[in-house]
Amino acid sequence: MKTLEVQGGKIGLIAGYGSFPLELTRILIDQGFDVHVVAAREETSAEIEDLAASTCWLHVGQVGGMIKAFKAVDVERVIMAGKVQKLHLFRNFRPDFLAIRTLAVLPDRRDDTILTAIAELLAKQGITLLSQIDYAGAMMADRGLICGPKPDKRAYHDIDFGLVQAKGSAALDIGQTVIVQDRSVLAVEAIEGTDAAIARGGELGSGRAVVVKVAKPKQDFRFDVPAVGPDTLRSMADAGCKVLAVEAGKTIILERGRFEQLANDYKLPVVGIDG
């Protein structure tokens, strides 16, 4: 992992769904940063206000408002944390003029296409979008058995098979997670998200399904870094999935203490694999 030479000062956070924005904000504060947050009204936990030096609440799609908010507090470095569910592009999307103009010229609406365009807009305003994994520290998945019992040989065969399938799906920007059993794909994550894919795959399996989550082959670590957390394990337990495999050094583990405790309670092996 990269060692940061510059710490402290002002930093911006584009905050989305879940615990990741909260955890990363605490890490950044511990590193000496004043964290200025732009939060999504549809997604972000209100707890962020208790941590941040300042918080600006905007609707999903208000890109121009986000840039103005960061420039108002003289922020020049920004990190994204937490997904904004893509379903908001279809249900609750409230784009401002800059977002409308940007989306109109995009070749498609894949995650990478949209997020790269946002990164370019920020850069034009003198705001640099930083890598998430350079700041996530102990949240990054280790190599080998992370927690839970050791998987059996049969599960490792499915992990190897699932890795190839997940990389293929991720390369197409469809999803970064597959659910496999007996070297057959039961479900592929798409716009519905990881937990829904796990539920579908587990329903088709027979209590031995393996969940494999990876980074894209050409992952831009400024955004959409794969992440797992306690909700992932709860979904697996409910669906009857057996093993979770994630790409080591490229996957974020949310609420790690609780995550490891649940893996032990559910007797669910979690393995960090090389991509």
Per-residue pLDDT reduced to its tens digit, 119-128: 999 999 999 9
Q: What is residue 4's predicted lDDT score, i.e. its pLDDT?
A: 43
Looking at domain 140-273, which CATH architecture does it have? Answer: 3-Layer(aba) Sandwich (3.40)
Does the pLDDT value for residue 92 go beyond 70?
no
Q: What is residue 3's predicted lDDT score, i.e. its pLDDT?
A: 36
63 within 8 A of 118, measured Cβ to Cβ: yes
Per residue in 17-66, pLDDT (tens digit) is 889 999 999 999 999 999 999 999 888 999 999 999 999 999 888 889 99
Q: Chain centroid to CA 5: how far?
A: 25
Beta strands in 2-112 (DSSP E): 9-15, 33-40, 54-58, 77-81
Q: What proportions of the chain, in percent to the nearest 5, are helix, strand and coil?
A: 40, 25, 40
Does the pLDDT value for residue 258 go beyond 50?
yes
Comparing CA positions, the residue from 211, 227, 236 lying closest to residue 155 is 211
Helices and strands in the chain, H and E counts: 10, 13
Does the pLDDT value for residue 194 go beyond 90?
yes
Mean residue pLDDT of the chain comes to 91
Looking at domain 9-135, which CATH architecture does it have? Answer: 3-Layer(aba) Sandwich (3.40)
Comparing CA positions, the residue from 254, 272, 248 lying closest to residue 21 is 254
Residue 178, token pair as written in the block: 């597959």
Does the pLDDT value for residue 8 go beyond 80?
no
Residues above pLDDT 70, as percent of the chain = 93
Does the pLDDT value for residue 10 go beyond 90?
yes
Domain range annotation of the chain: 9-135, 140-273
